[in-house]
Structure formats: structure tokens, C-alpha cells
């Protein structure tokens, strides 16, 4: 006998359709941006995903702009939403130039990262006093040991690491870590709980990346470096990528695009720093990173 819907069945089906129509459509995934604020691992420090680096060829490229042009460049980056600036004692003159360029901007609106050379071990307080004067700030957001090159760096620099931890406890700096040059020292980054932040070399073809020889401008081992980066990221250390543009070696738009895409897609690099010499380079990096974060 064929089924005939009752009046109750009819109104029940109408009600179900109406209820289904009332359900909101699934929200589209939020777009990610180069200028989003992201937390660096478990460090507690948030930075913009894209940083402004001042160390291209030891700072020479930025230094040769002169203060006035450099200030305009920094302010262009700031106005575009880049609020993370990095420098180092070794970049002669650049910490002072960066301090002048940022003068007058609200201190809580940007983050500063600088680096201390290994020969400063035993004299951290004097270094911190110098850096704060140069950068015209009361505190440093992130302080890194600059350019560790030896496999034994954790043992060699235990006093400096302890002093940095003490400065962090006093809120003179908010996070500490190291930057790396060479596969042997890089192999000591995974498993190192002292590292709040790691600044590591990464791009798509190994240009000026880490190798066993520890040479500054040699071809690096992309496979091992990215494996180590993944291990460092997994342990909760904030990872910042450097040499994204091969320190200016990637001259064509296609090379720069390939590198930014590669790093963005790794999923293990929280932020990246690039040294710029023109507003057009800043605009290009933002556009490319925006596109690849959402592709």
C-alpha cells in the first residue's frame, strides 16, 4: 500500500526545511597577512610576521642610504604594518640609525630584536646599557647570541646564557635565543630548552644557508636545515627565518617569489626578516607573502 504523507508529516517536513535554511553558512577561513601579529613559539613575545632587517652585508646596504632616507624607509614599513625591527651590535651604526628612525613612535607599537656577539660573554650588562642607548628604549624585546658557529656553543656560552636569563627575569629583555651559521651548531638547537627564539637561515635553494663547512656564503643543505627547523619549531621555540632573499642574491622576481613561497609553505617558520633598500622592496615582500599565505 503506497505511503501517503499525513498533515503532521507535511508540517514537520516544512519545519525541518525552514530550520535548515536558518543555519548560517560556514565562515570562510580568515585571511592571513604579512603584518599579522604572531606569537614566537612559547616565548610570550608577539611580532609581525614580516620583519625589517638592517643587516644586509653587515648593514652596509642600509647604512649607505643615510639617516634621512633610512628613516623614510623605516616609516614606510611601519605605515604598511611592519612593526618588527631587527639589528645587531655587529651592524656598525645601524642600531643608532634605527633608534633615530623609530624615535617618537609609541614603544608598545613595535618590537625590537638585537644581537650580542659571543665575545661579549662576561659583560652583558654593559652591552645591554649600550643597546638601550642606541635604540632609545628601556628594554629589548628579543636578544640573541649572534652567529653561533661551534657545535659546542651551548657549553661554551653557558655564562652568557645564564646572564641573559637573569636579564629576562628582570624584564630588561623579554626573550632570548641565538642565530646560527653552520650545520654543526644548528644540530644543537633541537632539544635546547633555553632557546625562546631561533634566527635561522632558510630559502628555497640553499643560497647562503648552513653547511658543514660553516662558510658564510656557501651553498647550504636545504633538506637538513629544514628538518632541524621543524624540530626546533616543534619544541616550542619561536623560529624566525633569515636569508629569505639570499642576502640580495635573488635578483629576479621569480627567484624572490619562489623563496617566499617555499618558506611560507613550510609551516615551521613563525616570522621572517628581510633587509630592504627601497619602499618598492617592502611592498613587494608584503604582497608576495600575503599571496602565498593564502594560496
Q: Left if phi > 0, otherwise alpha if psi is -120 to 50, otherwise beta: which for 151?
A: alpha
Indicate the SS3 state at residue 188: coil
For the stretch 61-95, pLDDT in tens is 999 999 999 999 999 999 999 999 999 999 999 99
For the stretch 241-266, pLDDT in tens is 999 999 999 999 999 999 999 999 99
Taking residues 188-212, report their average pLDDT: 96
Who wins on pLDDT, 13 or 84?
Answer: 84
User: Domains in the chain, ordered, with CATH?
Assistant: 34-293 (3.20.20.100)
pLDDT at site 18: 44
Number of DSSP helices (H) and strands (E) in the chain, helices first? 11, 10
Q: Extract the C-alpha cell encoding 211.
A: 653547511
For the stretch 174-192, pLDDT in tens is 999 999 999 999 999 999 9
Is pLDDT at 6 greater than 70 in this prediction? no
User: What is the pairing mode between strands 37-39 and 46-48?
Assistant: antiparallel
What's the first-to-final CA gap in the chain, in angstroms? 56
pLDDT at site 2: 44
Amino acid at each position: 500500500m503506497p505511503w501517503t504523507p499525513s498533515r503532521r508529516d507535511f508540517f514537520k517536513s516544512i519545519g525541518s526545511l525552514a530550520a535548515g535554511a536558518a543555519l548560517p553558512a560556514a565562515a570562510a577561513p580568515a585571511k592571513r597577512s604579512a603584518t599579522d601579529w604572531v606569537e614566537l613559539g612559547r616565548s610570550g613575545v608577539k611580532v609581525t610576521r614580516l620583519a625589517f632587517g638592517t643587516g644586509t652585508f653587515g648593514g652596509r646596504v642600509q647604512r649607505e642610504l643615510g639617516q634621512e632616507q633610512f628613516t623614510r624607509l623605516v616609516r614606510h614599513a611601519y605605515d604598511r604594518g611592519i612593526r618588527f625591527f631587527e639589528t645587531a651590535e655587529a651592524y656598525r651604526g645601524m642600531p643608532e640609525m634605527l633608534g633615530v628612525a623609530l624615535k617618537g613612535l609609541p614603544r608598545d607599537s613595535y618590537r625590537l630584536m638585537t644581537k650580542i656577539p659571543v665575545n661579549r660573554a662576561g659583560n652583558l650588562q654593559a652591552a645591554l646599557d649600550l643597546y638601550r642607548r642606541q635604540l632609545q628604549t628601556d628594554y629589548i624585546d628579543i636578544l640573541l647570541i649572534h652567529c653561533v658557529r661551534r657545535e659546542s656553543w651551548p657549553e661554551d656560552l653557558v655564562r652568557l646564557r645564564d646572564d641573559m636569563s637573569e636579564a629576562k627575569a628582570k624584564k630588561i629583555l623579554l626573550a632570548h635565543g641565538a642565530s646560527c651559521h653552520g650545520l654543526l651548531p644548528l644540530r644543537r638547537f633541537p632539544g635546547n630548552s633555553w632557546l625562546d627564539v631561533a634566527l635561522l637561515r632558510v630559502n628555497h635553494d640553499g643560497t647562503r644557508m648552513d653547511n658543514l663547512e660553516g662558510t658564510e656564503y656557501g651553498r647550504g643543505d636545504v633538506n637538513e636545515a629544514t628538518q632541524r627547523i621543524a624540530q626546533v619549531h616543534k619544541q616550542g621555540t619561536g623560529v624566525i627565518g633569515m636569508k629569505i632573499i639570499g642576502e640580495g642574491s635573488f635578483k629576479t622576481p621569480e627567484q624572490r617569489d619562489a623563496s617566499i613561497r617555499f618558506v611560507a609553505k613550510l609551516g615551521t617558520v613563525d616570522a621572517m626578516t628581510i633587509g630592504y633598500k627601497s619602499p618598492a622592496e617592502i611592498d613587494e615582500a608584503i604582497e608576495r607573502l600575503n599571496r602565498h599565505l593564502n594560496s
